[in-house]
Amino acid sequence: MMVIMNVDATKEQIEAVITRVEANKFRVIVNTGEDRTLIAVIGSNPSVLREQIMYMPGVDHTVPISRPYKVASREFIPENTVFPLDGFVIGGDEVVVIAGPCAVESRSQLLETAQAVKEAGAQALRGGAFKPRSSPYSFQGLGEEGLEILAEARELTGLPVFTEVMAPEMVPLVAKYADVLQIGARNMQNFALLHAAGECEKPILLKRGISALIEELLMAAEYILSHGNRRVILCERGVRTFETATRNTTDINAIPVLKNLTHLPVILDPSHSTGHADLVTPVARAGVAAGADGLIIEVHPNPKEALSDGGQSLSPEKFAVLVKQVRGIAREVGRK
């Protein structure tokens, strides 16, 4: 249930509603909006409580929320979530481009890529230090050494760093180095990890699971939000379908659907959603045209020799073309 307070509700009236809700063993999440306060009541079957609350002083009206996620919903927070990272703002007018290798392989590989993507117009650097690989025999990442290299690349280029965290106990270590912690598709419903991410000070990039519904993605985001971290970015990265011509199927629909259902920024990963370097740029254009707030793109100085995801990685030259084309599309749809 949502309690919508009057525009001129006093602090005491708001407090009284919160006290009544909590006395009934429900949790509250308060959204102090620009003109009025909204109070989300979290718990099962609050309909009896609704009768008590709707006539309290200062209450304008109450609305049942049937959705299984609350804080992530546009009903609870109508305005877009917009927050700054080093040098840019996500969720606002700008379409942001995050780029870098699938995995940090060596100091020289990462520093070279970081410089190249910066020159081509990327605003942030990606790179996995801990890699969730389907086979235990594939390259698993450099671990903490990879994080140190990422931090060095940030020093050199000024680009904030996005990197994956795979386990709850690793959150403090990854947060020490990263600007944004990525939770990958395979971990979208790792609830212990989502909980730890919710208690972390850094923003989270949450990728859609390989076979996850949009609603399941939003419930996963709700785990993070409800534990206190409000800086969550959602990422469509393709879903598994019957089609084998591409690695995954880009669910372009998910972008406008998510933008309607949630206030959180939504970005597209056309590298994993297509799995083929030749398809990345056209699908990136489509994502921006569909309203994505950003793109995350795999770039490697020598894709043929990449230790992971070489087939879908762009060379720095091809990435520069992508940025140029996407810039044109962004302008067409009224973005920067």
- How many Cβ atoms from other residues are within 10 Å of residue 294's Cβ? 25
We find the least distance from the C-beta atom of residue 312 to ligand PEP, in angstroms, to be 10
We find the least distance from the C-beta atom of residue 281 to ligand PEP, in angstroms, to be 18
Q: What residues pair up with 268 in beta bridges, in sequence order?
A: 236, 295
We find the least distance from the C-beta atom of residue 129 to Mn ion, in angstroms, to be 13
Report the distance separating Cα 45 and Cα 70, nearest Å: 14
Query: Which residue of 68, 132, 158, 172 would you call a contact of ligand PEP, by CB under 6 A?
Result: 132
Question: What Å distances lie between residue 46 and 39, 123, 174, CA to CA?
Answer: 13, 44, 39
The residues, ordered by sequence, that sit 6+ positions from 121 with a Cβ below 8 Å of its Cβ are 97, 320, 323, 324, 327
Report the distance separating Cα 79 and Cα 43, nearest Å: 24
Query: Which residue of 38, 97, 102, 104 would you call a contact of Mn ion, by CB under 5 A?
Result: 102
In the complex with Mn ion, which residue's Cβ is closer, 251 or 309? 309
According to DSSP, residue 67 is labeled S
Site size with ligand PEP, rule: CB under 6 A: 10
Q: Which stretch binds ligand PEP (CB under 6 A): 150-158, 180-188, 191-199, 254-262?
A: 180-188
Q: Which stretch binds Mn ion (CB under 5 A): 60-68, 180-188, 191-199, 309-317?
A: 309-317
| Residue pointed to by tokens 């990854």 | 174
In the complex with Mn ion, which residue's Cβ is closer, 222 or 309? 309
The reply on whether position 185 binds ligand PEP by CB under 6 A is: yes
The reply on whether position 237 binds ligand PEP by CB under 6 A is: yes
**Which of Mn ion, ligand PEP, none binds 132 (CB below 5-8 Å, type-dependent)?**
ligand PEP
Q: Which of 118, 80, 131 is nearest to 234 (CA)?
A: 80
Report the distance separating Cα 306 and Cα 308, nearest Å: 5
Which residues from 249-278 bind ligand PEP, rule CB under 6 A?
269, 272
Answer for the pair 203, 180: CB distance below 8 angstroms, yes or no: yes
Query: Which residue of 70, 118, 207, 263 would you call a contact of ligand PEP, by CB under 6 A?
Result: 207
Report the distance separating Cα 129 and Cα 178, nearest Å: 11
Query: Which residue of 1, 90, 102, 193 would you call a contact of ligand PEP, by CB under 6 A?
Result: 102
Contacts with Mn ion, residue ranges (CB under 5 A): 102, 309
Contacts with ligand PEP, residue ranges (CB under 6 A): 102, 128, 132, 184-186, 207, 237, 269, 272
